Structure 1
Amino acid sequence: MTGLHLAWAELRRWLRGSPIRPAALIALALIPTLYGCVYLWSNWDPYGRVDEVPAALVNEDRPVAVNGRTLDAGTRLRAELFKRHDLKWSAVRADGAAEGLKNGDFLVTLTIPRDFSADLASVSGSSPRQARLTFRLDNAHGYIVSKLTEAAVGELRAAVDSAAFTQYAKAALTQQAQAQAQAKGATGSALQQAVAAQQSAIDAQAAAIGRGVKIDTVTHHPARVYGRGLAPFFFSIALWVFGLVVYEIVRPLNLRALSARTRPWAVAIGGWAPAALIGVVGAVVLYVVADAGLGLGAEHLWATLGLLALAAAAFTAVGQVCRALWGVAGALVMLVLLMFQLVSCGGLYPIQTEPAPFRAIHPFCPMTYLVNGLRVTLTGGRTSELWRDVAVLACLLAAFWIIAAAVAAVQRTWSAKRLRPALHA
């Protein structure tokens, strides 16, 4: 029998009998398309959706009177920012912005200080000061936010110029030049000629002042390096993949114990505990290697190890149920779940920049809560959010324990379908 005959015989085995078999082949053939296209769709143009990133604008500026005119630079800049839609701006008070940045309601904040107009107006005086703005973000909500908002800072500089600050500086400097010429006795056409002679220098200086508004960027809980910011995402993938592959070796349920009328919950725990123990050890080794080899350096070491252990146990429980319910097809189910979590857990780009379907399933992804929790334990953040993530993962573990026990109870009864499954290795 040739190799081609053997290949055809294997294909016929999958094409005959239960319709589940050809459906499984079709599902396998679609895996590359699902992975490639879904992931590509998710990352197609995240920078083009930065206008969905929630941002707080705090305007504390006080208008000032200059040469008989009122300069309200803060209000002018606020109007320009809302018109440009570079970020999803909300005008709030300082305390609301600070609280929103802590709890993730806002990913960035911009503060216009109370002396912003006064500093801009100082260009016409003897002691000019540089106007400043303060841009804040928090890496506890994702390191990539800082990269996404770098473009926003550039747009902010453009907004400062568009808000007519350069034109104001030009007018102020022109008035200053006129005053200097008048002090020297120039009048009429002589005055105009004196000012015109300085016009190119005035234009250049005004443009420099408009561009010279300094933007201070303050990062809370900085990840410092790219890899440290992405560690929560890749750690989550690693533990989910473990839950997928461990039951290729470990039995999800002990069939002999089921036949011996052992209690279902005991059978479920007996199939979960060995795999979970291996997973916990693997999670600890994962952190130790990343820390020793790459200098990961968690802000909260024991919380990181505890969260990794809990996630390993929970993801293992999910893998146990999938394998016990669907056999070898359970691995395919875990793989598909991983695919959708990769684009919906917010591990790379802020979830606000993802397409609507991925934003909708974001709260239902187990990896979402491990990613969020690890951001807090690795780089710092609010412990209340960490406890929420721990509670969700603990509930996930308990729920799948219960489901595994129910599956064990059902599988006490044998059927012809179970004795000869449509899909088997």
Structure 2
Amino acid sequence: MSSLRIAANELRRLSAGTLPKLALVALVLVPLLYASLYLYANYDPYGRLDKLPAAVVTDDAGATGPEGRPRNVGREVTDELVGSGTFQWHEVSAERAADGVRDNDYAFSITIPGDFSAALLSTGDLTPRQATITLTTNDANNYLAGTIADQVAEQVRATIAEKVGSEAADRFLIGFSTIYGRISEAADGAARLADGAADLRDGQQRLAEGAHQLAGGTTELATGLETLRRSTADLPEQSRRLADGASQVADGNARVAQAGALVADGSADLQRGLDDLNERLAQRLRDSGLDESQVRKVLSELGQLRQPVDDADAKIQQASGQLDTLADGARQVADGAQQLAGAAPALSDGIASAADGAGRLRDGAAELDQGEQAALAGSRELADGAATLRDGLAGGLAQIPHPDDPTRAATANTIADPVAINSVGLASAGTYGAGLAPFFIALATWIGAFVLFLLLRPLSTRALTAGAGPLRVALGGWLPAALLGVAQVLVLFAAVAWLVGIRIAHPVLAVGFVVLASLAFTAIVHALNALFGAVGKFLALVLLVLQLVSAGGTFPWQTIPDPLYPLHVVLPMSYVIDGLRHLLYSGASPRILGDVAVLLAYLVGALAVSALAARQRRVWTVNQLKPELAL
């Protein structure tokens, strides 16, 4: 008896009658009912969140922004939430929101407190406070709803932080622009100050040179008058002798008259020189930037110092006239000599006074020269300092950010949200249901294999009693389940792709892979039933549970407890899920070959176990004839 004949006999047994035929149809549809309905119900729950009711409470009283403009950020946030349509938002009171979340009228609520805007805008007054949004959830309603609410609240927080941060950064950059403008004005003023200081330095240089020349001239004047005073120190005595001996004066009269004329001419030259010096000094003072009142004040003080010289000049001119009269009338020498004797002391005193005044004028001019030199040094320091200030402000101005409006807005947005996420998906499931499809298709395939052996007999008793080979008996008992399993997979994939609408990247390869998985699963369940009998059904159910918790169908398998890691590596459903993920989302990755190899190994190994069980069943025992437990 061949394996195909054994399989055909088993199929005829199951299809003999209406109810058995309906039972076969039901067995084929079990995976469809399990996987397709579940995937249909959970195809895209996130796309229907607008049906989920949520409450928002807005108690924000608003605040005044840094520009003096009233703001109500809470109202802005509420309007954006309600207008987004992400949830079925209801703007209600705090009491209604609390009651609604408790009574499951709302999945969650978001409460914006009264000081929300004031806290957000407090950074402008350098009194920062965190703004708080209250999220109220109730896991008694639905745990995932609370998880989704946490994500929504975080998105709201991030959006508000970015918005407020952009505004704060924009004000910060505007402050830089204001500083830039003020520093620019200061730099312009410093440039003008540097130019004025340079002009002052140049004028002070010229004034110092004039003061130095004045000091030199007054020194020469003082020296000459001192010499004149020494020269005329004996004049009164000589005048007395002249008066006493007028007859002796005639011989020296010409020389005296000549000397008097020379003195008068020198004094006159001195007066003209002083007048010219006064004019030059006044002009230099005006050129140095002094106003007319200051120039007149300096000339007035210089005139006071010059007064003794003027007095001496008058006396010299008077004496010169007297000497001329003496020279004109030799006969009148006695009278003139008597007059000269009377005037000589005054002349001597005048010359002494002029010499003293010239000395004081020399000392004053020296002090003026020293003062001008000091002023020149100060003006040089002022010019250097002004130039340094100008250059420093110009250099500092170049370091201050001064962006235009678009650049400032872009910079503010970057400061508020410095990191962007560029999501690159190597493969995308698209929807929640598509993401769970590999897990539930694999699970449905195992369940389909499990229910088949509720009706199918793992080993043909007739073939065993007829002495058929163990391998033929094993294959004959497995083939009906394999055929029905393939039918289950084809129906399941048709419903998943056409009715549920899950997109499959490589449908032919995916169907072939799941057919292989069904063959392996039916072989495993067949081996358990063949080897252990009724207990095998229980073991197949235990394996189902173990694979549910270790296959990593929902969360990544690395997140399961460490003791379950060996189960993930050993059990076949892990490899079915891994292969389906590649075939449904991206393509035939080389690692799928490893998954295929594992399933083939399970298939061959399970058939070998079934053959071993068939070999053992050729010897009948009491337990086989009358089992203690029948399922």
1:183 matches 2:184: yes
Alignment of structure 1 residues 262-277 onto 2, 5 Å? 262-277=468-483
Q: Unaligned stretches of 5+ in structure 2? A: 1-146, 188-392, 402-407
Counterpart selection for 1:384 from 590, 594, 612: 590
Measure how far apart 1:354 and its partner are: 1.7
Counterpart selection for 1:318 from 511, 524, 542: 524
Is the CA contact (8 Å cut-off) linking 2:506 and 2:584 kept in structure 1?
Answer: yes
Rounded to whole Å, the distance in 2 between the matches of 1:338 and 1:273 is 22
1:422 matches 2:628: yes
1:366 matches 2:367: no
Which gives a bigger RCO, structure 1 or 2 (Cα 8 Å, sep 6+)?
Answer: 2
Partner of 1:12: none
Deviations along 1:149-168, whole A, 9 cap, x unmatched? x97xx79x99xx9xxx9999
Is the CA contact (8 Å cut-off) linking 1:279 and 1:316 kept in structure 2?
Answer: yes
Secondary structure in structure 1 of the residue aligned to 2:473: helix
Most deviating of 206-215 and 244-253: 206-215
Alignment of structure 1 residues 18-417 onto 2, 5 Å? 178-185=179-186, 209-381=415-587, 383-417=589-623
Measure how far apart 1:356 and its partner are: 1.5
Is the CA contact (8 Å cut-off) linking 2:485 and 2:519 kept in structure 1?
Answer: yes
Rounded to whole Å, the distance in 1 between the matches of 2:602 and 2:169 is 60
Rounded to whole Å, the distance in 2 between the matches of 1:392 and 1:169 is 61
| One-letter amino acid matched to 2:428 | P
Secondary structure in structure 2 of the residue aligned to 1:314: helix
Measure how far apart 1:210 and its partner are: 3.4
Rounded to whole Å, the distance in 1 between the matches of 2:436 and 2:479 is 30
Secondary structure in structure 1 of the residue aligned to 2:424: strand
Is the CA contact (8 Å cut-off) linking 1:240 and 1:312 kept in structure 2?
Answer: yes
Structure 1 residues 418, 168: CA separation in 2 closer, same or farther (over 3 Å shift)? same
Is the CA contact (8 Å cut-off) linking 1:321 and 1:404 kept in structure 2?
Answer: yes
Rounded to whole Å, the distance in 1 between the matches of 2:446 and 2:590 is 24
Q: CA RMSD in A?
A: 3.6
Rounded to whole Å, the distance in 2 between the matches of 1:174 and 1:391 is 68
Is the CA contact (8 Å cut-off) linking 1:284 and 1:308 kept in structure 2?
Answer: no
Secondary structure in structure 1 of the residue aligned to 2:421: strand
Is the CA contact (8 Å cut-off) linking 1:253 and 1:270 kept in structure 2?
Answer: yes
Measure how far apart 1:176 and its partner are: 6.1
Is the CA contact (8 Å cut-off) linking 2:505 and 2:587 kept in structure 1?
Answer: no
Deviations along 1:91-116, whole A, 9 cap, x unmatched? xxxxxxxxxxxxxxxxxxxxxxxxxx
Is the CA contact (8 Å cut-off) linking 1:258 and 1:408 kept in structure 2?
Answer: yes
Measure how far apart 1:421 and its partner are: 1.5
Rounded to whole Å, the distance in 1 between the matches of 2:489 and 2:591 is 22
| One-letter amino acid matched to 1:361 | L
| One-letter amino acid matched to 2:542 | V
Rounded to whole Å, the distance in 1 between the matches of 2:181 and 2:564 is 63
Is the CA contact (8 Å cut-off) linking 1:321 and 1:400 kept in structure 2?
Answer: yes
Please identify which structure carries the higher helix content.
2
Q: What percent of counterpart residues are identical?
A: 36
Rounded to whole Å, the distance in 2 between the matches of 1:230 and 1:403 is 32
Measure how far apart 1:301 and its partner are: 1.2
Structure 1 residues 314, 173: CA separation in 2 closer, same or farther (over 3 Å shift)? farther
Structure 1 residues 182, 406: CA separation in 2 closer, same or farther (over 3 Å shift)? same
Structure 1 residues 226, 172: CA separation in 2 closer, same or farther (over 3 Å shift)? same
Deviations along 1:322-366, whole A, 9 cap, x unmatched? 111222222211111111111211111111222222233211121
Structure 1 residues 416, 377: CA separation in 2 closer, same or farther (over 3 Å shift)? same
Is the CA contact (8 Å cut-off) linking 2:506 and 2:587 kept in structure 1?
Answer: no
Please identify which structure carries the higher strand content.
1
Is the CA contact (8 Å cut-off) linking 2:531 and 2:609 kept in structure 1?
Answer: no
Q: Unaligned stretches of 5+ in structure 1? A: 1-146, 196-201
Measure how far apart 1:181 and its partner are: 3.2
Deviations along 1:178-207, whole A, 9 cap, x unmatched? 4443123289xxx9xxx9xxxxxx9xx868
Partner of 1:7: none
Secondary structure in structure 2 of the residue aligned to 1:296: coil
The structure having more radius of gyration, on CA atoms, is 2
Measure how far apart 1:169 and its partner are: 10
| One-letter amino acid matched to 2:627 | P
Is the CA contact (8 Å cut-off) linking 2:169 and 2:415 kept in structure 1?
Answer: no
Measure how far apart 1:171 and its partner are: 9.0
Is the CA contact (8 Å cut-off) linking 1:173 and 1:206 kept in structure 2?
Answer: no
Deviations along 1:371-412, whole A, 9 cap, x unmatched? 111111111145201111111111110110111101111111
Rounded to whole Å, the distance in 2 between the matches of 1:170 and 1:423 is 82
Give the TM-score normalised by structure 1: 0.55
Is the CA contact (8 Å cut-off) linking 1:251 and 1:271 kept in structure 2?
Answer: yes
Rounded to whole Å, the distance in 2 between the matches of 1:222 and 1:385 is 18
Measure how far apart 1:417 and its partner are: 2.1
